[in-house]
Amino acid sequence: MAPEKNWKGKICCIGAGYVGGPTCSVIAIKCPDYKVSIVDVNPHRIAAWNSDDLPIYEPGLDDVVKACRNRNLFFTTDVDGAIVESDIIFVSVNTPTKKHGLGSGMAADLTYIESACRRIAQVATSSKIVVEKSTVPCRTAESMRAILEANSRNGIRFDILSNPEFLAEGTAITDLFGPDRVLIGSLQTPEGLAAQKALADVYAHWVPRDRIITMNLWSSELSKLAANALLAQRISSINSLSALCEATGADVDEVAFAVGKDSRIGPKFLKASVAFGGSCFQKDILNLVYLCESLHLKEVAEYWRQVVVINEYQKQRFVRRIVHALFDTVTSKKICLLGFAFKKNTGDTRESAAIGLAKYFMDEDANVHIYDPKVTDEQILMDLSEPGISSGIEEVKKKITIFKDAYSAAEDADALVICTEWDEFKALDYQTIYQAMKKPAFIFDGRLLLDASELRKIGFKVETIGKPSPATRGY
Ligand code: UDX
Ligand code: ADP
Protein backbone atom coordinates (compact mmCIF):
# COMPACT_ATOMS: atom_id res chain seq x y z
CA MET A 1 0.00 0.00 0.00
CA ALA A 2 1.06 3.56 -0.66
CA PRO A 3 2.42 5.24 2.41
CA GLU A 4 -0.15 7.96 3.05
CA LYS A 5 1.90 11.07 2.85
CA ASN A 6 1.30 14.60 1.76
CA TRP A 7 1.80 14.25 -1.97
CA LYS A 8 2.23 17.48 -3.90
CA GLY A 9 0.04 15.93 -6.57
CA LYS A 10 -1.22 12.60 -7.83
CA ILE A 11 -0.72 11.40 -11.39
CA CYS A 12 -2.43 8.52 -13.12
CA CYS A 13 -1.28 7.01 -16.40
CA ILE A 14 -3.85 4.94 -18.29
CA GLY A 15 -1.98 2.39 -20.42
CA ALA A 16 1.17 0.59 -19.21
CA GLY A 17 2.75 0.15 -22.65
CA TYR A 18 5.92 1.29 -24.41
CA VAL A 19 4.98 4.95 -23.96
CA GLY A 20 3.09 5.13 -20.65
CA GLY A 21 5.35 2.72 -18.72
CA PRO A 22 8.76 4.38 -19.28
CA THR A 23 7.40 7.95 -19.37
CA CYS A 24 5.56 7.80 -16.08
CA SER A 25 8.30 5.74 -14.40
CA VAL A 26 10.70 8.57 -15.22
CA ILE A 27 8.20 11.15 -13.93
CA ALA A 28 8.05 9.12 -10.70
CA ILE A 29 11.81 8.99 -10.21
CA LYS A 30 12.23 12.69 -11.01
CA CYS A 31 9.25 13.84 -8.93
CA PRO A 32 9.42 12.03 -5.57
CA ASP A 33 6.82 14.47 -4.21
CA TYR A 34 4.18 13.11 -6.64
CA LYS A 35 2.38 9.80 -6.40
CA VAL A 36 2.32 8.12 -9.82
CA SER A 37 -0.04 5.23 -10.59
CA ILE A 38 0.28 3.41 -13.90
CA VAL A 39 -2.86 1.44 -14.67
CA ASP A 40 -3.83 -1.03 -17.36
CA VAL A 41 -6.78 -3.26 -18.13
CA ASN A 42 -4.36 -6.10 -18.92
CA PRO A 43 -3.61 -7.90 -15.60
CA HIS A 44 -0.67 -9.83 -17.10
CA ARG A 45 1.04 -6.62 -18.12
CA ILE A 46 0.55 -5.14 -14.66
CA ALA A 47 1.79 -8.33 -12.98
CA ALA A 48 4.92 -8.15 -15.15
CA TRP A 49 5.50 -4.48 -14.22
CA ASN A 50 5.32 -5.58 -10.57
CA SER A 51 7.81 -8.43 -11.12
CA ASP A 52 11.56 -8.67 -11.78
CA ASP A 53 10.85 -9.36 -15.44
CA LEU A 54 9.36 -6.14 -16.84
CA PRO A 55 7.04 -6.51 -19.84
CA ILE A 56 9.20 -4.35 -22.09
CA TYR A 57 12.94 -4.32 -22.63
CA GLU A 58 14.44 -0.85 -22.47
CA PRO A 59 18.02 -0.13 -21.34
CA GLY A 60 18.01 1.58 -17.92
CA LEU A 61 14.31 1.00 -17.28
CA ASP A 62 14.82 -1.71 -14.64
CA ASP A 63 16.87 0.61 -12.45
CA VAL A 64 14.32 3.42 -12.68
CA VAL A 65 11.41 1.14 -11.81
CA LYS A 66 13.28 -0.57 -8.97
CA ALA A 67 14.23 2.77 -7.44
CA CYS A 68 10.67 4.02 -7.01
CA ARG A 69 8.23 1.11 -7.33
CA ASN A 70 5.96 0.92 -4.27
CA ARG A 71 7.44 4.19 -2.99
CA ASN A 72 5.80 6.76 -5.23
CA LEU A 73 5.29 4.56 -8.31
CA PHE A 74 2.49 1.99 -8.39
CA PHE A 75 1.36 -0.43 -11.09
CA THR A 76 -2.24 -1.54 -10.73
CA THR A 77 -5.33 -2.75 -12.55
CA ASP A 78 -7.47 -0.52 -10.33
CA VAL A 79 -8.14 1.97 -13.13
CA ASP A 80 -11.12 3.59 -11.38
CA GLY A 81 -9.34 4.05 -8.04
CA ALA A 82 -6.38 5.76 -9.72
CA ILE A 83 -8.65 8.03 -11.78
CA VAL A 84 -10.61 9.12 -8.72
CA GLU A 85 -7.58 10.10 -6.64
CA SER A 86 -5.47 11.78 -9.36
CA ASP A 87 -5.28 15.43 -10.44
CA ILE A 88 -3.45 14.74 -13.71
CA ILE A 89 -4.37 11.78 -15.93
CA PHE A 90 -2.17 10.75 -18.85
CA VAL A 91 -3.94 8.81 -21.58
CA SER A 92 -1.29 6.49 -23.06
CA VAL A 93 -3.40 3.79 -24.62
CA ASN A 94 -2.74 2.19 -27.99
CA THR A 95 -3.94 3.90 -31.19
CA PRO A 96 -3.39 1.31 -33.93
CA THR A 97 -4.25 1.86 -37.59
CA LYS A 98 -7.87 0.97 -38.35
CA LYS A 99 -8.24 -2.49 -39.88
CA HIS A 100 -11.78 -2.06 -41.23
CA GLY A 101 -14.46 0.55 -41.88
CA LEU A 102 -13.95 4.17 -42.86
CA GLY A 103 -10.28 5.10 -43.23
CA SER A 104 -9.30 1.42 -43.03
CA GLY A 105 -5.52 0.94 -43.34
CA MET A 106 -4.85 4.64 -42.77
CA ALA A 107 -6.82 6.36 -40.02
CA ALA A 108 -6.04 5.78 -36.34
CA ASP A 109 -8.39 3.56 -34.38
CA LEU A 110 -9.49 5.74 -31.48
CA THR A 111 -11.57 3.07 -29.73
CA TYR A 112 -9.15 2.79 -26.80
CA ILE A 113 -8.87 6.55 -26.36
CA GLU A 114 -12.63 6.85 -26.35
CA SER A 115 -13.17 4.09 -23.83
CA ALA A 116 -10.50 5.56 -21.52
CA CYS A 117 -12.23 8.97 -21.71
CA ARG A 118 -15.64 7.46 -21.02
CA ARG A 119 -14.21 5.71 -17.98
CA ILE A 120 -12.65 8.94 -16.69
CA ALA A 121 -15.94 10.82 -17.10
CA GLN A 122 -17.91 8.04 -15.45
CA VAL A 123 -15.86 7.68 -12.30
CA ALA A 124 -14.27 11.11 -11.69
CA THR A 125 -15.59 12.89 -8.63
CA SER A 126 -13.40 15.99 -8.99
CA SER A 127 -11.94 18.13 -11.78
CA LYS A 128 -9.03 16.65 -13.75
CA ILE A 129 -6.32 17.61 -16.16
CA VAL A 130 -6.47 15.00 -18.93
CA VAL A 131 -3.28 14.69 -20.95
CA GLU A 132 -3.26 13.24 -24.44
CA LYS A 133 0.02 11.32 -24.53
CA SER A 134 -0.61 8.73 -27.23
CA THR A 135 0.10 9.92 -30.75
CA VAL A 136 -3.27 10.86 -32.16
CA PRO A 137 -4.68 12.52 -35.26
CA CYS A 138 -5.08 16.27 -35.17
CA ARG A 139 -8.11 17.50 -33.26
CA THR A 140 -8.47 14.33 -31.16
CA ALA A 141 -8.35 16.54 -28.08
CA GLU A 142 -11.61 18.09 -29.26
CA SER A 143 -13.26 14.65 -29.44
CA MET A 144 -11.88 13.80 -26.00
CA ARG A 145 -13.35 16.98 -24.56
CA ALA A 146 -16.74 16.30 -26.16
CA ILE A 147 -16.85 12.79 -24.67
CA LEU A 148 -15.68 13.93 -21.24
CA GLU A 149 -18.09 16.86 -21.03
CA ALA A 150 -21.09 14.92 -22.30
CA ASN A 151 -20.58 12.21 -19.69
CA SER A 152 -19.36 14.06 -16.63
CA ARG A 153 -21.11 14.82 -13.38
CA ASN A 154 -22.22 18.37 -12.69
CA GLY A 155 -19.56 20.85 -11.72
CA ILE A 156 -16.57 18.74 -12.79
CA ARG A 157 -14.10 20.37 -15.19
CA PHE A 158 -11.83 18.57 -17.59
CA ASP A 159 -8.92 20.47 -19.06
CA ILE A 160 -7.40 18.66 -22.00
CA LEU A 161 -3.71 19.01 -22.78
CA SER A 162 -1.70 17.63 -25.66
CA ASN A 163 1.72 16.43 -24.47
CA PRO A 164 3.11 14.24 -27.25
CA GLU A 165 5.93 11.87 -26.40
CA PHE A 166 9.09 12.01 -28.51
CA LEU A 167 11.03 9.15 -26.92
CA ALA A 168 12.49 6.56 -29.25
CA GLU A 169 12.48 2.93 -28.20
CA GLY A 170 15.86 1.55 -27.19
CA THR A 171 16.91 4.98 -25.89
CA ALA A 172 13.69 5.82 -24.04
CA ILE A 173 15.28 6.42 -20.65
CA THR A 174 18.06 8.72 -21.89
CA ASP A 175 15.52 10.52 -24.12
CA LEU A 176 13.21 11.03 -21.13
CA PHE A 177 16.00 12.13 -18.79
CA GLY A 178 17.26 14.74 -21.26
CA PRO A 179 14.55 15.56 -23.79
CA ASP A 180 15.29 17.97 -26.66
CA ARG A 181 11.96 19.55 -25.76
CA VAL A 182 8.75 18.90 -23.88
CA LEU A 183 5.71 20.09 -25.76
CA ILE A 184 2.48 21.08 -24.01
CA GLY A 185 -0.52 22.26 -25.99
CA SER A 186 -3.65 23.69 -24.43
CA LEU A 187 -6.64 25.84 -25.16
CA GLN A 188 -5.56 29.46 -24.79
CA THR A 189 -8.15 30.12 -22.04
CA PRO A 190 -7.26 31.00 -18.41
CA GLU A 191 -8.18 27.45 -17.34
CA GLY A 192 -6.26 25.90 -20.24
CA LEU A 193 -3.19 27.95 -19.44
CA ALA A 194 -3.41 27.05 -15.75
CA ALA A 195 -3.54 23.35 -16.65
CA GLN A 196 -0.58 23.85 -18.98
CA LYS A 197 1.37 25.40 -16.10
CA ALA A 198 0.48 22.56 -13.72
CA LEU A 199 1.92 20.02 -16.16
CA ALA A 200 4.95 22.21 -16.92
CA ASP A 201 5.66 22.29 -13.16
CA VAL A 202 5.90 18.49 -13.15
CA TYR A 203 8.44 18.43 -15.99
CA ALA A 204 10.33 21.38 -14.50
CA HIS A 205 11.54 18.99 -11.76
CA TRP A 206 14.27 17.97 -14.25
CA VAL A 207 13.74 19.66 -17.62
CA PRO A 208 15.10 23.22 -18.02
CA ARG A 209 12.20 25.66 -18.40
CA ASP A 210 13.41 26.86 -21.80
CA ARG A 211 12.96 23.33 -23.13
CA ILE A 212 9.33 23.20 -22.04
CA ILE A 213 7.47 24.64 -24.99
CA THR A 214 3.84 25.67 -24.77
CA MET A 215 1.46 26.32 -27.65
CA ASN A 216 -2.10 25.78 -28.75
CA LEU A 217 -3.59 22.30 -28.79
CA TRP A 218 -3.78 21.83 -32.53
CA SER A 219 -0.21 22.97 -33.16
CA SER A 220 1.00 20.56 -30.52
CA GLU A 221 -0.92 17.63 -32.00
CA LEU A 222 0.27 18.41 -35.51
CA SER A 223 3.88 18.93 -34.36
CA LYS A 224 4.08 15.33 -33.24
CA LEU A 225 2.83 14.01 -36.58
CA ALA A 226 5.11 16.45 -38.41
CA ALA A 227 8.22 15.40 -36.43
CA ASN A 228 7.66 11.72 -37.15
CA ALA A 229 6.83 12.43 -40.80
CA LEU A 230 10.03 14.44 -41.28
CA LEU A 231 12.17 11.80 -39.55
CA ALA A 232 10.66 9.00 -41.65
CA GLN A 233 11.07 11.15 -44.75
CA ARG A 234 14.82 11.40 -44.10
CA ILE A 235 15.10 7.63 -43.95
CA SER A 236 13.10 7.18 -47.15
CA SER A 237 15.26 9.84 -48.79
CA ILE A 238 18.51 8.09 -47.93
CA ASN A 239 16.97 4.71 -48.80
CA SER A 240 15.92 5.98 -52.21
CA LEU A 241 19.51 7.15 -52.70
CA SER A 242 20.75 3.71 -51.61
CA ALA A 243 19.05 2.26 -54.71
CA LEU A 244 20.88 4.79 -56.82
CA CYS A 245 24.17 3.96 -55.09
CA GLU A 246 23.78 0.26 -55.84
CA ALA A 247 23.10 1.02 -59.48
CA THR A 248 25.90 3.53 -59.98
CA GLY A 249 28.76 2.30 -57.82
CA ALA A 250 28.49 4.99 -55.14
CA ASP A 251 28.54 4.02 -51.46
CA VAL A 252 25.53 5.24 -49.45
CA ASP A 253 27.51 5.53 -46.19
CA GLU A 254 29.98 7.84 -47.93
CA VAL A 255 27.18 9.88 -49.48
CA ALA A 256 25.39 10.17 -46.11
CA PHE A 257 28.64 11.22 -44.44
CA ALA A 258 29.31 13.86 -47.08
CA VAL A 259 25.85 15.40 -47.06
CA GLY A 260 25.57 15.15 -43.27
CA LYS A 261 28.61 17.42 -42.91
CA ASP A 262 26.45 20.26 -44.20
CA SER A 263 25.25 21.80 -40.95
CA ARG A 264 21.91 22.59 -42.56
CA ILE A 265 21.37 18.88 -43.19
CA GLY A 266 23.16 17.32 -40.19
CA PRO A 267 24.37 13.73 -39.76
CA LYS A 268 21.54 12.10 -37.81
CA PHE A 269 18.86 9.81 -39.23
CA LEU A 270 20.71 9.22 -42.48
CA LYS A 271 21.52 5.55 -42.01
CA ALA A 272 20.22 3.58 -44.94
CA SER A 273 18.47 0.36 -43.98
CA VAL A 274 16.20 -2.40 -45.20
CA ALA A 275 13.29 -0.15 -44.12
CA PHE A 276 12.08 1.77 -41.12
CA GLY A 277 9.73 -0.03 -38.74
CA GLY A 278 8.21 0.65 -35.34
CA SER A 279 4.77 1.55 -34.15
CA CYS A 280 4.92 5.23 -35.09
CA PHE A 281 6.37 6.19 -38.44
CA GLN A 282 4.10 4.38 -40.85
CA LYS A 283 1.04 4.89 -38.68
CA ASP A 284 1.64 8.61 -38.27
CA ILE A 285 2.34 9.22 -41.94
CA LEU A 286 -0.78 7.34 -42.95
CA ASN A 287 -2.66 9.44 -40.41
CA LEU A 288 -1.25 12.55 -41.99
CA VAL A 289 -2.18 11.34 -45.47
CA TYR A 290 -5.70 10.56 -44.30
CA LEU A 291 -6.00 13.98 -42.70
CA CYS A 292 -4.83 15.69 -45.91
CA GLU A 293 -7.23 13.67 -48.01
CA SER A 294 -10.15 14.51 -45.77
CA LEU A 295 -9.20 18.17 -46.11
CA HIS A 296 -8.96 17.81 -49.93
CA LEU A 297 -5.22 18.47 -49.94
CA LYS A 298 -4.56 15.83 -52.57
CA GLU A 299 -1.03 16.89 -53.56
CA VAL A 300 0.09 17.13 -49.93
CA ALA A 301 -1.35 13.66 -49.25
CA GLU A 302 0.47 12.21 -52.26
CA TYR A 303 3.74 13.83 -51.21
CA TRP A 304 3.73 12.17 -47.78
CA ARG A 305 2.38 8.86 -49.09
CA GLN A 306 5.59 8.46 -51.11
CA VAL A 307 7.56 8.12 -47.86
CA VAL A 308 5.68 4.89 -47.13
CA VAL A 309 5.81 3.79 -50.78
CA ILE A 310 9.62 4.05 -50.79
CA ASN A 311 9.79 2.15 -47.49
CA GLU A 312 7.90 -0.79 -49.02
CA TYR A 313 9.96 -0.55 -52.20
CA GLN A 314 13.14 -0.78 -50.16
CA LYS A 315 12.06 -4.08 -48.57
CA GLN A 316 11.02 -5.55 -51.93
CA ARG A 317 14.23 -4.38 -53.55
CA PHE A 318 16.29 -6.06 -50.85
CA VAL A 319 14.37 -9.31 -51.22
CA ARG A 320 14.82 -9.25 -55.02
CA ARG A 321 18.53 -8.74 -54.56
CA ILE A 322 18.74 -11.67 -52.13
CA VAL A 323 16.82 -14.02 -54.40
CA HIS A 324 18.82 -13.03 -57.45
CA ALA A 325 22.12 -13.60 -55.63
CA LEU A 326 20.90 -17.00 -54.45
CA PHE A 327 20.68 -18.14 -58.08
CA ASP A 328 17.11 -16.91 -58.48
CA THR A 329 15.51 -19.35 -56.09
CA VAL A 330 15.19 -19.71 -52.33
CA THR A 331 12.82 -22.68 -52.32
CA SER A 332 13.92 -25.21 -49.69
CA LYS A 333 16.98 -23.11 -48.87
CA LYS A 334 17.83 -22.22 -45.29
CA ILE A 335 17.69 -18.48 -44.83
CA CYS A 336 18.82 -17.22 -41.44
CA LEU A 337 17.35 -13.91 -40.30
CA LEU A 338 19.55 -12.25 -37.67
CA GLY A 339 17.32 -9.87 -35.74
CA PHE A 340 13.56 -9.63 -35.62
CA ALA A 341 13.00 -6.42 -33.61
CA PHE A 342 12.38 -3.21 -35.60
CA LYS A 343 15.64 -1.74 -34.26
CA LYS A 344 18.32 -2.70 -31.72
CA ASN A 345 17.87 -2.50 -27.94
CA THR A 346 14.16 -3.24 -27.98
CA GLY A 347 12.05 -6.38 -28.04
CA ASP A 348 9.36 -4.55 -30.00
CA THR A 349 8.49 -6.00 -33.41
CA ARG A 350 5.72 -3.69 -34.55
CA GLU A 351 6.10 -3.04 -38.31
CA SER A 352 9.52 -4.66 -38.21
CA ALA A 353 11.10 -5.14 -41.65
CA ALA A 354 11.94 -8.71 -40.60
CA ILE A 355 8.25 -9.62 -40.68
CA GLY A 356 7.96 -8.63 -44.36
CA LEU A 357 11.15 -10.50 -45.25
CA ALA A 358 10.05 -13.64 -43.40
CA LYS A 359 6.70 -13.49 -45.19
CA TYR A 360 8.39 -13.40 -48.56
CA PHE A 361 10.69 -16.33 -47.74
CA MET A 362 7.77 -18.37 -46.38
CA ASP A 363 5.82 -17.68 -49.59
CA GLU A 364 8.78 -19.06 -51.53
CA ASP A 365 8.85 -22.20 -49.37
CA ALA A 366 12.24 -21.45 -47.84
CA ASN A 367 13.20 -22.75 -44.38
CA VAL A 368 13.53 -19.62 -42.31
CA HIS A 369 15.79 -19.62 -39.25
CA ILE A 370 15.34 -16.71 -36.86
CA TYR A 371 17.39 -15.42 -33.98
CA ASP A 372 16.83 -12.22 -32.01
CA PRO A 373 18.42 -11.47 -28.62
CA LYS A 374 15.28 -9.95 -27.09
CA VAL A 375 12.15 -10.89 -29.02
CA THR A 376 10.28 -13.84 -27.49
CA ASP A 377 9.42 -16.96 -29.50
CA GLU A 378 5.71 -16.35 -28.82
CA GLN A 379 5.95 -12.86 -30.32
CA ILE A 380 7.67 -14.12 -33.49
CA LEU A 381 5.10 -16.89 -33.95
CA MET A 382 2.23 -14.46 -33.33
CA ASP A 383 3.57 -11.85 -35.80
CA LEU A 384 4.12 -14.40 -38.54
CA SER A 385 0.72 -16.06 -38.03
CA GLU A 386 -1.14 -12.81 -38.73
CA PRO A 387 -3.50 -12.80 -41.69
CA GLY A 388 -1.71 -11.37 -44.71
CA ILE A 389 1.61 -12.77 -43.50
CA SER A 390 0.91 -16.51 -43.60
CA SER A 391 -2.02 -18.91 -43.63
CA GLY A 392 -1.63 -19.34 -39.85
CA ILE A 393 0.36 -21.01 -37.12
CA GLU A 394 0.54 -24.41 -38.89
CA GLU A 395 2.36 -22.93 -41.87
CA VAL A 396 4.59 -20.88 -39.59
CA LYS A 397 5.57 -23.89 -37.51
CA LYS A 398 6.41 -25.79 -40.69
CA LYS A 399 8.60 -23.10 -42.21
CA ILE A 400 10.07 -21.18 -39.29
CA THR A 401 12.59 -22.34 -36.69
CA ILE A 402 13.53 -20.03 -33.84
CA PHE A 403 16.98 -20.30 -32.25
CA LYS A 404 18.51 -19.22 -28.97
CA ASP A 405 21.78 -17.99 -30.47
CA ALA A 406 23.17 -16.79 -33.78
CA TYR A 407 25.57 -19.70 -34.23
CA SER A 408 22.96 -22.44 -34.16
CA ALA A 409 20.62 -20.32 -36.32
CA ALA A 410 23.36 -20.00 -38.95
CA GLU A 411 24.28 -23.69 -39.01
CA ASP A 412 23.81 -25.24 -42.43
CA ALA A 413 22.20 -22.00 -43.74
CA ASP A 414 22.61 -20.81 -47.32
CA ALA A 415 22.41 -17.17 -46.31
CA LEU A 416 22.46 -14.83 -43.33
CA VAL A 417 20.26 -11.75 -43.54
CA ILE A 418 20.97 -8.94 -41.07
CA CYS A 419 17.57 -7.44 -40.27
CA THR A 420 18.33 -5.63 -36.99
CA GLU A 421 21.52 -3.77 -36.09
CA TRP A 422 22.14 -5.51 -32.72
CA ASP A 423 25.70 -4.84 -31.45
CA GLU A 424 26.25 -8.54 -30.75
CA PHE A 425 26.03 -9.30 -34.49
CA LYS A 426 29.16 -7.21 -35.01
CA ALA A 427 31.09 -9.30 -32.50
CA LEU A 428 30.21 -12.78 -33.83
CA ASP A 429 32.97 -15.15 -34.87
CA TYR A 430 32.23 -15.18 -38.59
CA GLN A 431 35.01 -17.64 -39.31
CA THR A 432 33.18 -20.26 -37.24
CA ILE A 433 29.86 -19.31 -38.80
CA TYR A 434 31.33 -19.58 -42.30
CA GLN A 435 32.57 -23.09 -41.63
CA ALA A 436 29.11 -24.22 -40.50
CA MET A 437 27.22 -22.75 -43.49
CA LYS A 438 26.50 -24.16 -46.95
CA LYS A 439 28.78 -22.88 -49.73
CA PRO A 440 28.79 -20.45 -51.29
CA ALA A 441 27.91 -18.73 -48.01
CA PHE A 442 26.06 -15.45 -48.40
CA ILE A 443 25.57 -12.51 -46.07
CA PHE A 444 22.97 -9.88 -46.91
CA ASP A 445 23.49 -6.85 -44.70
CA GLY A 446 20.27 -4.85 -44.45
CA ARG A 447 21.74 -2.55 -41.79
CA LEU A 448 25.22 -1.68 -43.14
CA LEU A 449 26.47 -3.21 -39.92
CA LEU A 450 29.32 -5.52 -40.90
CA ASP A 451 32.75 -5.03 -42.43
CA ALA A 452 32.15 -6.53 -45.88
CA SER A 453 35.82 -6.64 -46.88
CA GLU A 454 36.75 -8.67 -43.77
CA LEU A 455 33.90 -11.07 -44.45
CA ARG A 456 34.95 -11.45 -48.08
CA LYS A 457 38.45 -12.39 -46.89
CA ILE A 458 36.87 -15.28 -44.95
CA GLY A 459 35.11 -16.40 -48.12
CA PHE A 460 31.61 -14.97 -47.75
CA LYS A 461 29.70 -13.48 -50.65
CA VAL A 462 28.48 -10.19 -49.21
CA GLU A 463 25.68 -7.93 -50.41
CA THR A 464 25.07 -4.70 -48.50
CA ILE A 465 22.22 -2.22 -48.88
CA GLY A 466 23.41 0.90 -50.69
CA LYS A 467 26.72 -0.63 -51.71
CA PRO A 468 27.31 -1.90 -55.21
CA SER A 469 28.15 -5.47 -55.97
CA PRO A 470 29.11 -6.73 -59.43
CA ALA A 471 26.86 -9.77 -58.98
CA THR A 472 23.65 -7.90 -58.32
CA ARG A 473 24.10 -4.42 -59.82
CA GLY A 474 20.72 -3.03 -60.74
CA TYR A 475 18.63 -5.25 -58.44
C1 UDX B 1 10.20 7.23 -33.43
C2 UDX B 1 10.68 8.67 -33.19
O3 UDX B 1 12.11 8.72 -33.33
C4 UDX B 1 10.26 9.14 -31.80
O5 UDX B 1 10.62 10.50 -31.63
C6 UDX B 1 8.75 8.97 -31.66
O7 UDX B 1 8.35 9.32 -30.36
C8 UDX B 1 8.35 7.54 -31.95
O9 UDX B 1 8.81 7.14 -33.24
P10 UDX B 1 11.06 4.81 -32.69
O11 UDX B 1 10.12 4.31 -33.73
O12 UDX B 1 10.99 4.22 -31.32
O13 UDX B 1 10.88 6.41 -32.49
O14 UDX B 1 12.57 4.61 -33.20
P15 UDX B 1 13.50 5.39 -34.23
O16 UDX B 1 14.86 5.45 -33.64
O17 UDX B 1 12.93 6.65 -34.70
O18 UDX B 1 13.60 4.37 -35.45
C19 UDX B 1 12.48 4.07 -36.28
C20 UDX B 1 12.91 3.16 -37.42
O21 UDX B 1 13.76 3.85 -38.34
C22 UDX B 1 13.70 1.92 -36.96
O23 UDX B 1 13.29 0.80 -37.71
C24 UDX B 1 15.14 2.29 -37.27
O25 UDX B 1 15.95 1.18 -37.47
C26 UDX B 1 14.95 3.10 -38.56
N27 UDX B 1 16.05 4.04 -38.83
C28 UDX B 1 16.31 5.06 -37.96
C29 UDX B 1 16.80 3.90 -39.99
O30 UDX B 1 16.56 2.99 -40.80
N31 UDX B 1 17.78 4.81 -40.25
C32 UDX B 1 18.08 5.84 -39.41
O33 UDX B 1 18.99 6.63 -39.73
C34 UDX B 1 17.30 5.98 -38.22
P1 ADP C 1 2.14 2.33 -26.86
O2 ADP C 1 3.30 1.88 -27.69
O3 ADP C 1 1.39 3.48 -27.49
O4 ADP C 1 2.49 2.58 -25.43
P5 ADP C 1 1.02 -0.26 -26.13
O6 ADP C 1 0.17 -1.16 -26.95
O7 ADP C 1 2.41 -0.71 -25.79
O8 ADP C 1 1.05 1.14 -26.90
O9 ADP C 1 0.29 0.07 -24.74
C10 ADP C 1 -1.00 0.53 -24.60
C11 ADP C 1 -1.61 -0.10 -23.34
O12 ADP C 1 -2.87 0.54 -23.09
C13 ADP C 1 -1.90 -1.60 -23.42
O14 ADP C 1 -1.19 -2.28 -22.40
C15 ADP C 1 -3.43 -1.70 -23.22
O16 ADP C 1 -3.82 -2.85 -22.46
C17 ADP C 1 -3.73 -0.42 -22.47
N18 ADP C 1 -5.12 0.04 -22.58
C19 ADP C 1 -5.87 0.21 -23.68
N20 ADP C 1 -7.09 0.70 -23.39
C21 ADP C 1 -7.13 0.87 -22.04
C22 ADP C 1 -8.11 1.36 -21.10
N23 ADP C 1 -9.30 1.80 -21.51
N24 ADP C 1 -7.79 1.38 -19.78
C25 ADP C 1 -6.57 0.96 -19.36
N26 ADP C 1 -5.61 0.49 -20.18
C27 ADP C 1 -5.87 0.44 -21.50
Q: Is 272 annotated as a binding residue?
A: yes
Q: Give the pLDDT confidence score for residue 3 in this predicted structure.
A: 55
Q: Give the pLDDT confidence score for residue 135 in this predicted structure.
A: 79
Q: In what order do the strands lie in the sheet with 461-464?
A: 400-402, 367-371, 334-338, 415-418, 442-445, 461-464
- pTM for this prediction: 0.94
- For CA atoms 197, 20, 229, 271, the dihedral sign is positive
pLDDT along the chain (475 residues), means of 10: 77 97 98 98 98 96 98 98 97 89 85 94 95 86 90 88 96 98 97 97 98 96 95 98 94 98 98 97 93 95 98 97 96 98 96 97 97 97 96 96 98 98 98 98 98 96 90 55
Q: Give the pLDDT confidence score for residue 96 in this predicted structure.
A: 85
Q: Give the pLDDT confidence score for residue 154 in this predicted structure.
A: 79
Domain range list for the chain: 9-207, 260-464
Nearest CA owner, ligand 1 atom 15: 168
Q: Give the pLDDT confidence score for residue 279 in this predicted structure.
A: 92
Q: Is 157 annotated as a binding residue?
A: no
Q: Give the pLDDT confidence score for residue 70 in this predicted structure.
A: 97
Q: Give the pLDDT confidence score for residue 213 in this predicted structure.
A: 98
pLDDT per residue as tens digits for the range 246-258: 999 999 999 999 9
Separation of CA 237 and ligand 1 centre (Å): 14
Distance CA 439, CA 267 (A): 38
Distance CA 387, CA 364 (A): 17
Q: Domain 9-207 - what CATH class?
A: alpha beta
Q: Which residues line ligand 1 (CB under 6 A)?
A: 165-169, 228, 231, 235, 269-271, 273, 276-278, 280-281, 342-343
Q: Is 320 annotated as a binding residue?
A: no
Separation of CA 54 and ligand 1 centre (Å): 22
Domain 260-464: give its CATH superfamily: NAD(P)-binding Rossmann-like Domain (3.40.50.720)
- Are both 9-207 and 260-464 of the same fold? yes
Mutate to test the pocket of ligand 1, among 273, 288, 315, 318 (most ligand atoms within 8 A of CB): 273
Separation of CA 93 and ligand 2 centre (Å): 4
**Any idea which ligand is nearest the CA of 230?**
1
Q: Give the pLDDT confidence score for residue 473 in this predicted structure.
A: 56
Q: Is 280 a catalytic residue?
A: yes
User: Is the CB of residue 185 less than 8 Å from the CB of residue 219?
Assistant: yes
User: Is the CB of residue 179 less than 8 Å from the CB of residue 166?
Assistant: yes
